[in-house]
Amino acid sequence: MKIVDMHCDTVSALYDRKSRGGQEDLRENGGHIDLLRMKKSGYLLQNFALFVELNRDGDPWERALRLYGYYREELEKNGELLAPVLGFSDIGRNEAQGKLSAMLTVEEGAVCGGETDKLRRLYDMGVRMLTLTWNFENELGCPNFTRALKERISAVRAEWEALAEAGDTVKAGQKHKELQELRFRELYETPPNVTGGLTEKGREFVSEMEELGMIPDVSHLSDAGFYDVLETAKKPFVASHSNARSICGCVRNLTDDMIRRLAEKGGCTGLNFCADFLEQMPAGIPNPGTVSSVVRHARHIVRVGGIEVLGLGSDFDGIDTHAELPGAQSMGVLWEALRRGGFTEGQLDKIFCGNVLRVYGETLKG
């Protein structure tokens, strides 16, 4: 079993913990992913995202540069285990040397501020995939989520955390209930954005990215934006961490038509292990996550788009811990569950690495 995972937030999570005085690093930590567990589990390549949250992290470009500096430090500290992917041939070269491959991505197109010079700088830094939006509108396009609700959720979360830290359990409990209700509304009652797609600058970025050898990522992008990328792109693109909306009605997931069109373009989508994107539960009911729900999404996506469209996009260290897939050490559990769910070994090889490698071979240079 070889594993290629198109998305995790481990670099950002570790950097933020370090900023608060934590001592964990990429080699070994208590989060979802570290190099030792990846090596033991059979990883070939992990995409590491530099994640920027616009309403929290200050200047997005400066945040991206700080995260990049941390990423470079970890690469240098762990050079005997991990090597970067700058071109497609690096993946095979790293494997031959017994090293894991790291592909750098950015999750939030706003880091560039609409400047193509900054996009080219990201490429020179080693970034090979860009998630065009996160959950806020930016210079490139729109998400499905609304900014007002997202900001309200952030404010309520901050109030809840402050009350919990102060030991006011009654008010903290009330605030946590409010947070759960807002989060439910956002995930399952937000209508898809079918009018606000890519801006002209966004279309320019997609074309420039393809010319550079950088992959457009439509996870988090609005429904309208997905079709704008489909129209603009000449090469395959990805939804690095998105599931099937027909199975779970979360607006972050892909419709069946999107899955079919992505497959026709030669792209792929990565199974996301976030429990709220896998199965809808009533507001306030715990959703720990089950591997059977991941299997349901996988079966549906393949039924709609064919076996070539499906990959992995765990979203590890960017989501609450999935009860049955708590980290990199759990990928064998997923393999076995999918095998029991009817997938052949050849199909599993495509899901776990082959499909994403095909896309990378068609889009990355070198």
Residues of the chain with pLDDT under 50: none
Whether the model pTM is above 0.75:
yes
251-276 residue pLDDT tens: 999 999 999 999 999 999 999 999 99
Three-class SS state of 268: strand
161-179 residue pLDDT tens: 888 888 888 888 898 888 8
Cross-strand partners of 88: none
Please report the pLDDT score of residue 180 as a whole number.
Answer: 87
Beta strand pairing call for 100-107 and 127-131: parallel
d(CA 320, CA 316): 8
Cross-strand partners of 318: none
Please report the pLDDT score of residue 177 as a whole number.
Answer: 87
Please report the pLDDT score of residue 55 as a whole number.
Answer: 82
Please report the pLDDT score of residue 307 as a whole number.
Answer: 98
Please report the pLDDT score of residue 149 as a whole number.
Answer: 86
CA-closest candidate to residue 106, choices 231, 12, 212: 12
Please report the pLDDT score of residue 157 as a whole number.
Answer: 86
34-87 residue pLDDT tens: 999 999 999 999 999 999 999 888 999 999 999 999 999 999 999 999 999 999
Please report the pLDDT score of residue 208 as a whole number.
Answer: 98
Please report the pLDDT score of residue 165 as a whole number.
Answer: 85
Mind giving me the DSSP string for 12-57? HHHHHHHHTT----SSS-SSS--HHHHHHHTEEEEEEEEE--TTTS
**Cα dihedral 290→32→102→344 (10° resolution):** -20
